[in-house]
C-alpha cells in the first residue's frame, strides 16, 4: 500500500502544458495503481514459495537423492537374497541350495553350543531378490523330559540380524525383538514380519510386500506305504496303527523306523560306542529307500562325512533330501543313541 500511495502523490504534482487537460476519469488511474500493487505482492509471495521449495529439495540433492521430481521417483525396496545368506554365514550357519523350481530356495542350518537347532529358508524372486525368509528353532535331545538347548539368545540374534537387512535399523528397533516372548508382528516398507521367540522354540517369517511366496511342505519322493514295504524287505517288522512303525534288531542293537508322509526317522539304540560301520550301513539303507542314482550318491556322501557331529546334531541338504544326524551317549546306562531323519529337501517353508 505504500507503493500505491507514493504513485498517487506524484500524480498530483504533474503540470499540464498548453492544450493539455487532466483526465476526466481520476478513479480509473487509481484503480490501475491498486491492481499493479496487488499483482506485485502476489509475485513476491510466489517467489518466496519457489525459494523455499528449492531450499529443501536442494538439500535432498546435496545428500545424494537421485530424483527428477518429488512425485515421479520411487525408492527400490529389493534386497538381494545373497545378502541374507551372507549374514547367516557370518553367524556360523551352513547353507545349501534346497530347490531351484518353481523358485530358488536356499536353506541354512545352525547348531548352538547347547544343542539348540535353527533352520532358515530363503526364497528368491526372478531377479534374485528376497521374497520370503522363514526361521524355525527347536530343542534337540532323545529324552523328551531332558531337551537340549535354549533358543532365546540364538533366535533373537539371527532374527534381529535379518530384520536389519530387510526392514532396516529403525524398524528393527521398534519391533523390540530382544523382548522375545509373546507372538507379534509388524509391517515396514519392505514387507511384514511375524515372530515368536521362546526358550523352548522359536519362529519368524518375513514376507516381501506384494509377493506370492511358497507355502506348505513337500512329501517324500516315495509314498510311506512303499517305504514300509521296502523296509520289510530289509528285515524290519512293520505295523500300521496310530502311526507307521518298523523295528528290527542286529546283535543287541535295536533299530526303529517311524514313517510319515514327509519324514522317515531311524533311531538306533545300542551299547556305547555305536560303531561308524554300523551307522554307515543303516544310513545307506535308509537313504536307499527314498532316492537312487546320483541323488543317492550325493546324500550318502554327505551323511558319511557327518556321522560324528561336533555338537551332537548336524543338518544339511544333499541329493534331494534334507538329512539330520543326531548322537547322544547316556553314561548312566552305558548306552548310546543315534537318530537319522530324512525329509524331502523341498520342504517349502515348514522347516
| E strand or H helix at 130 | strand 130-138
- In this model, does residue 61 exceed pLDDT 50? no
When the pLDDT of each residue in the chain is averaged and rounded to a whole number, the result is 80
**φ and ψ at 277, to 5 degrees?**
-60, -45
* Cα–Cα distance measured from residue 313 to residue 326, given in angstroms and rounded to the nearest whole number: 4
30 vs 309 pLDDT, higher one:
309
pLDDT score, position 348: 54
Residue range 224-244, pLDDT digits in tens: 999 999 999 999 999 887 788
Indicate the pLDDT class of residue 105, thresholds 50, 70 and 90.
very high
Indicate the pLDDT class of residue 69, thresholds 50, 70 and 90.
very low
Q: Which of 205, 224, 223 is nearest to 215 (CA)?
A: 205
What is the pTM (predicted TM-score) of this model? 0.74
- CB-based contacts of 340, cutoff 8 Å, min separation 6: 265, 266, 268, 279, 282, 283, 286, 303, 323, 324, 325
* Residue bearing cell 528285515: 235
pLDDT score, position 228: 93
- In this model, does residue 209 exceed pLDDT 80? yes
Residue range 264-293, pLDDT digits in tens: 999 999 999 999 999 999 999 999 999 999
| Mean pLDDT for the stretch of residues 163-172 | 93
pLDDT score, position 216: 72
- In this model, does residue 83 exceed pLDDT 80? yes
- In this model, does residue 45 exceed pLDDT 60? no
* Cα–Cα distance measured from residue 147 to residue 114, given in angstroms and rounded to the nearest whole number: 10
pLDDT score, position 2: 40
pLDDT score, position 349: 52
| Mean pLDDT for the stretch of residues 256-261 | 92
pLDDT score, position 92: 96
- In this model, does residue 215 exceed pLDDT 60? yes
| Mean pLDDT for the stretch of residues 237-262 | 90
131 vs 21 pLDDT, higher one:
131
262 vs 314 pLDDT, higher one:
314
Q: According to DSSP H, which parts of 106-246 are helical? A: 152-166, 169-175, 224-233
Indicate the pLDDT class of residue 14, thresholds 50, 70 and 90.
very low
pLDDT score, position 219: 83
Please state, in angstroms and as integers, the Cα–Cα distance from residue 195 to each residue in 168, 192, 206, following that order.
Answer: 16, 10, 9
Amino acid at each position: 500500500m505504500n507503493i500505491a500511495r507514493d504513485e498517487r502523490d506524484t500524480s498530483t504534482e504533474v503540470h499540464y502544458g498548453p492544450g493539455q487537460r487532466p483526465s476526466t476519469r481520476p478513479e480509473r488511474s487509481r484503480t490501475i495503481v491498486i491492481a499493479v500493487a496487488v499483482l506485485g505482492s502476489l509475485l513476491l509471495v510466489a517467489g518466496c514459495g519457489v525459494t523455499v521449495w528449492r531450499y529443501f529439495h536442494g538439500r535432498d540433492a546435496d545428500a545424494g537423492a537421485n530424483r527428477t521430481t518429488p512425485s515421479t521417483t520411487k525408492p527400490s525396496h529389493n534386497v538381494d537374497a545373497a545378502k541374507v545368506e551372507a549374514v547367516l554365514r557370518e553367524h556360523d550357519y551352513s547353507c545349501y541350495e534346497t530347490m531351484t523350481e518353481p523358485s530358488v530356495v536356499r536353506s541354512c542350518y545352525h547348531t548352538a553350543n547347547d544343542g539348540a537347532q535353527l533352520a532358515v529358508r530363503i526364497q528368491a524372486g526372478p531377479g534374485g531378490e528376497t521374497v520370503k525368509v522363514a526361521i524355525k528353532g527347536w530343542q534337540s535331545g532323545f529324552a523328551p523330559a531332558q531337551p537340549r538347548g535354549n533358543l532365546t539368545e540364538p533366535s533373537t540374534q539371527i532374527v534381529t540380524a535379518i530384520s536389519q537387512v530387510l526392514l532396516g535399523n529403525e524398524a528393527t528397533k521398534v519391533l523390540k525383538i530382544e523382548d522375545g516372548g509373546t507372538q507379534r508382528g509388524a509391517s515396514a516398507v519392505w514387507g511384514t514380519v511375524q515372530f515368536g521367540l521362546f526358550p523352548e522354540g522359536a519362529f519368524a517369517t518375513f514376507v516381501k510386500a506384494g509377493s506370492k511366496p511358497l507355502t506348505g511342505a513337500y512329501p517324500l519322493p516315495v509314498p510311506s506305504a512303499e517305504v514300509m514295504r521296502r523296509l520289510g524287505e530289509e528285515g524290519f517288522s512293520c505295523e500300521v496303527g496310530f502311526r507307521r512303525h518298523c523295528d528290527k534288531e542286529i546283535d543287541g542293537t535295536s533299530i526303529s523306523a517311524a514313517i510319515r508322509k514327509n519324514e522317515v526317522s531311524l533311531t538306533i539304540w545300542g551299547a556305547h560306542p555305536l560303531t561308524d560301520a554300523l551307522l554307515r550301513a543303516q544310513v545307506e539303507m535308509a537313504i536307499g529307500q527314498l532316492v537312487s542314482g546320483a541323488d543317492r550318491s550325493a546324500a550318502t556322501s554327505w551323511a558319511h562325512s557327518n556321522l560324528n557331529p561336533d555338537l551332537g546334531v548336524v543338518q544339511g541338504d544333499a541329493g534331494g533330501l534334507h538329512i539330520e544326524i543326531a548322537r547322544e551317549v547316556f553314561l548312566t546306562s552305558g548306552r548310546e543313541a543315534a537318530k537319522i531323519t530324512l525329509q524331502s529337501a523341498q520342504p517349502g517353508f515348514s522347516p
